[in-house]
Structure 1
Amino acid sequence: MSEKRKLFVEVQTDQRPQIATGAIDRAKRGARGAIRVWLMLLFALVVVMIAVGGLTRLTDSGLSITEWKPLTGAMPPMNAADWQAEFDKYQQIPEFKVQNAWMTLEDFKSIYWWEWGHRQLGRVIGLVWALGFFGFLALRKIPTGWTGRLLLIGGLGGLQGAIGWWMVSSGLTGTMLDVASYRLATHLGLAFVILGFIAWYILMLGREERDLMQARRSKDAKLFSLGTGWMHFAFLQILIGALVAGIDAGRSYTDWPTMGGQFLPPDPMMLEPAWRNFLENPGLVQFIHRMTGYLLLGFSIMIFVKSRKAANRVTSGAFMVAFIALCGQVVLGIYTVISAAQMHVALTHQILAVATFVLILRARFHAAYPVPQSVRG
């Protein structure tokens, strides 16, 4: 006589694949929380790096170290002979011969430490990235699909180091007294690109993958498109601001809303060939920065008005916060001009640019992945 089938045994057998599936899902999830904390640390370090870079520029310290030694350069001069050797190298470049011939060794040390600190911070960022990435990789804790994204951050960081030297090398020969402004803009621009990727990844890791997939179905395509344009427009203004900083154009005209008592600055095309004026003419470069700022403000007002009609209140609120930050940046930009770009004011202007850019990117994220809300909104 055959044994009767037991219902409870069959149910227990059917449940086993579900347990295995759950284990697979957890493996795919990886250490999302820990990776997010690691990215937050990288984000904070990059923000500090941008601030230190701004101070390095404002103190005219960027050319104090005339060699690029990624490994051995981590050690500063340790004795009087080492300091004199570094000072001797600096005395060979145009900046010292034409502009800073009055400097003593003690004066040189003050600018050397700014540049050394800037480069040292870059090494720290690289080390933090490497320890985190290869640590998570070895432990197999990187979520599915995230290895390439995290590797991209490291690759861009390495490229940033090379571009930093490319920038510095432009002021070591010829007649340049500072680094080339367009190379400075490239260097700062890439820093914002790196910061943008890190911020976007932090936002994504703050929510589960399944939540993002569901939220994507409610994507506000129009606001997302406008947010993308807004982000790129703000990025363009940041690049132009770097051109202003590169040639100290912020101190060329300190009246507002006019420039030298008129709409256009005097002699806007005084350099030959003509294209040089758009990169090296302080009056014209500041004028372009001002006009782009006005256009960006107008574009921002239009986006703000449209965002108020968004069905999702969190998305609408994110756009409002970004708009408020941008308005504050416009006001601070005007004050930076009339204060002749005092160091603390100019640095605050740069830091607020970071905050504004990230808040615009956050608003764009919320348009792409709206936070679920009740029917009543």
Structure 2
Amino acid sequence: MVLGYYVGVMPFDAHSFPAHAAAAPRGGRANPRAIAYWLLTVAGLIWLMVALGGATRLTGSGLSIMEWAPLAGTLPPLSQAEWQRLYDLYRTIPQYQLQNAGFGMEGFQRIFWLEWAHRFWGRLIGLAYLVPLLWFWARGAIPRGLGPRLALLFVLGGLQGAIGWFMVASGFDADRTAVSPYRLVLHLSMAFILFGLILWTALGLLRPAPMEIVPQQGKIRRQVVAAFWLAALTMLAGGFVAGIRAGFSYNTFPLMDGQLVPAGYLDLEPVWRNLTANIAAVQFNHRLLATLTLLAAIGAAVAARRLPDGFARRAVWTMAAAIGAQYALGIVTLLHVVPVSLGTLHQALAVGVLAAGLCAWHALRKPPASAP
């Protein structure tokens, strides 16, 4: 809703766009609005990719394809012999031997198709980014100064593909039935970073000039930024919850095994390992950060009442609503012991929180020459 309002209602003010960025490389044909729509489309594709990745992780499908073939892997197996070859490869890893032994070709194909769709969607995102980028460049439609950033975003997208394989490969080790939680968090974090950078770039093209400064806008912006970074930390902690499957334990709320702080919170040595490898500590930290994020978002929403009616106020309220919905969904997911449907939705809504937070932050950003 916020993005739709931003795109549909906020006019693009060509006169307020910085001169060094507004000029096209050739012929003055810069088209910031078209580029913004394209970037928002790519951001939407990444959003769906994150949701699909959540389903892949929760179903244990991510290790079903044991080869990284960026071009040849575009097509699925086209013969029974190829299906058998891939199935035989899968049967060599611990996940099959310890979890899925004997589930047959039908079971293998079920998890294979989900992982293949996840990888295919990643390739589709690459094409959806590269082809329009080359077209805009050939037409001289890219604003001056924006080209290097767009090229860097493409490189980061390719790096994300490599990180994805780096993560998957960790699941082939002799003592593993799932991927490394550290590599999982790296992969998820890069997806969030890419989404955020692309969305922020699009918002800057749609509304290059900060909105009118109003009293106490700086204070409200600081509250929004605090809620945003708390949400980001919560997502990082959530990655470790997913990576060590901590959500399948302590399925009560608000207490954990009858206690506010669970027993065994600091059982591991050295102490820092409790932050990433201790189920009790990882889940408690995620709960704590989520609660702090919710409180910060409520504070920002209350403060936003002082803003005039308009996009900025609605953006802050939408951010708070998204965080509240994510908090409630997290509780429901936990109480139901993380079914695939709710777990996938919870991961997808995290991107919605990120989007809403960035929209609110962007609407309240400082003007170039003066800061309230």
Determine if the TM-score, normalized by the shorter chain, exceeds 0.5.
yes
Question: Offset at 1:368?
Answer: 1.5
- Partner residue of 2:258? 261
> Is 1:223 aligned to residue 243 of structure 2?
no
> Is 1:147 aligned to residue 147 of structure 2?
yes
For residues 344 and 249 of structure 1, the distance between their equivalents in structure 2, rounded to whole angstroms, comes to 17
How many residues in Structure 1 have an aligned counterpart in Structure 2?
A: 344
TM-score by length of 2: 0.86
1:24-44 C-alpha deviation (Å, 9 max, x unpaired): 967546122321221122112
Aligned pair in 2 of structure 1 residues 255, 145: CA closer, same or farther (>3 Å)?
same
For residues 29 and 309 of structure 1, the distance between their equivalents in structure 2, rounded to whole angstroms, comes to 40
- Partner residue of 1:201? 201
For residues 260 and 72 of structure 1, the distance between their equivalents in structure 2, rounded to whole angstroms, comes to 49
Aligned pair in 2 of structure 1 residues 225, 155: CA closer, same or farther (>3 Å)?
farther
Q: 2:325 aligns with which of 316, 323, 328?
A: 328
- Partner residue of 2:169? 169
Q: Which has the greater radius of gyration?
A: 1
- Partner residue of 1:236? 233
- Partner residue of 1:188? 188
Q: Structure 2: where are the runs of 5+ without partners?
A: 1-18, 368-372
SS at match of 1:308: helix
Contact 2:223–2:299 under 8 Å retained in 1: no
- Partner residue of 1:342? 339
1:8-35 C-alpha deviation (Å, 9 max, x unpaired): xxxxxxxxxxxxx9xx967546122321
1:72-117 C-alpha deviation (Å, 9 max, x unpaired): 1212211111111111111111111222213211111111111111
Question: Offset at 1:143?
Answer: 1.2
- Partner residue of 1:248? 245
Contact 1:218–1:369 under 8 Å retained in 2: no
For residues 180 and 138 of structure 1, the distance between their equivalents in structure 2, rounded to whole angstroms, comes to 42
> Is 1:303 aligned to residue 300 of structure 2?
yes
Contact 1:216–1:368 under 8 Å retained in 2: no
SS at match of 2:171: coil
Aligned pair in 2 of structure 1 residues 132, 62: CA closer, same or farther (>3 Å)?
same
User: Which deviates more from structure 2 when the two are superposed, residues 52-61 or residues 65-74?
Assistant: 65-74
1:322-346 C-alpha deviation (Å, 9 max, x unpaired): 1111111111111111111112112
> Is 1:80 aligned to residue 83 of structure 2?
no
Question: Offset at 1:269?
Answer: 3.8
Aligned pair in 2 of structure 1 residues 333, 109: CA closer, same or farther (>3 Å)?
same
Aligned pair in 2 of structure 1 residues 39, 329: CA closer, same or farther (>3 Å)?
same
Q: 2:350 aligns with which of 353, 359, 364?
A: 353
For residues 29 and 306 of structure 2, the distance between their equivalents in structure 1, rounded to whole angstroms, comes to 35
TM-score by length of 1: 0.85
1:135-161 C-alpha deviation (Å, 9 max, x unpaired): 111111101221122112212101111
For residues 328 and 42 of structure 1, the distance between their equivalents in structure 2, rounded to whole angstroms, comes to 25
For residues 90 and 274 of structure 2, the distance between their equivalents in structure 1, rounded to whole angstroms, comes to 29
- Partner residue of 2:11? none
Question: Offset at 1:218?
Answer: 6.8
- Partner residue of 1:47? 47
Aligned pair in 2 of structure 1 residues 237, 164: CA closer, same or farther (>3 Å)?
same
Q: Structure 1: where are the runs of 5+ without partners?
A: 1-20, 371-377
For residues 307 and 213 of structure 2, the distance between their equivalents in structure 1, rounded to whole angstroms, comes to 15
For residues 54 and 111 of structure 1, the distance between their equivalents in structure 2, rounded to whole angstroms, comes to 13
Aligned pair in 2 of structure 1 residues 25, 292: CA closer, same or farther (>3 Å)?
closer
Q: 2:290 aligns with which of 293, 297, 300?
A: 293
For residues 191 and 30 of structure 1, the distance between their equivalents in structure 2, rounded to whole angstroms, comes to 28
Question: Offset at 1:55?
Answer: 0.5
Question: Offset at 1:369?
Answer: 6.7
Contact 2:52–2:344 under 8 Å retained in 1: no
Contact 2:169–2:179 under 8 Å retained in 1: yes
SS at match of 1:368: coil
1:162-213 C-alpha deviation (Å, 9 max, x unpaired): 1101111111113111111121111111111111112112222223x5xx16
The structure, 1 or 2, with the larger RCO (C-alpha pairs under 8 Å, 6+ apart) is: 2
- Partner residue of 2:97? 97
For residues 247 and 198 of structure 2, the distance between their equivalents in structure 1, rounded to whole angstroms, comes to 30
- Partner residue of 2:4? none
- Partner residue of 2:316? 319
1:353 maps to amino acid = A
Contact 2:226–2:296 under 8 Å retained in 1: no
Question: Offset at 1:273?
Answer: 4.7
User: Which deviates more from structure 2 when the two are superposed, residues 181-190 or residues 265-274?
Assistant: 265-274
1:291 maps to amino acid = L
SS at match of 2:154: helix
- Partner residue of 2:359? 362
Percent of pairs with identical residues? 39
Contact 1:29–1:144 under 8 Å retained in 2: no
For residues 356 and 258 of structure 1, the distance between their equivalents in structure 2, rounded to whole angstroms, comes to 25
For residues 60 and 73 of structure 1, the distance between their equivalents in structure 2, rounded to whole angstroms, comes to 20
Question: Offset at 1:66?
Answer: 1.2
Contact 2:48–2:348 under 8 Å retained in 1: no
Aligned pair in 2 of structure 1 residues 285, 102: CA closer, same or farther (>3 Å)?
farther
For residues 149 and 223 of structure 2, the distance between their equivalents in structure 1, rounded to whole angstroms, comes to 25
- Partner residue of 2:112? 112
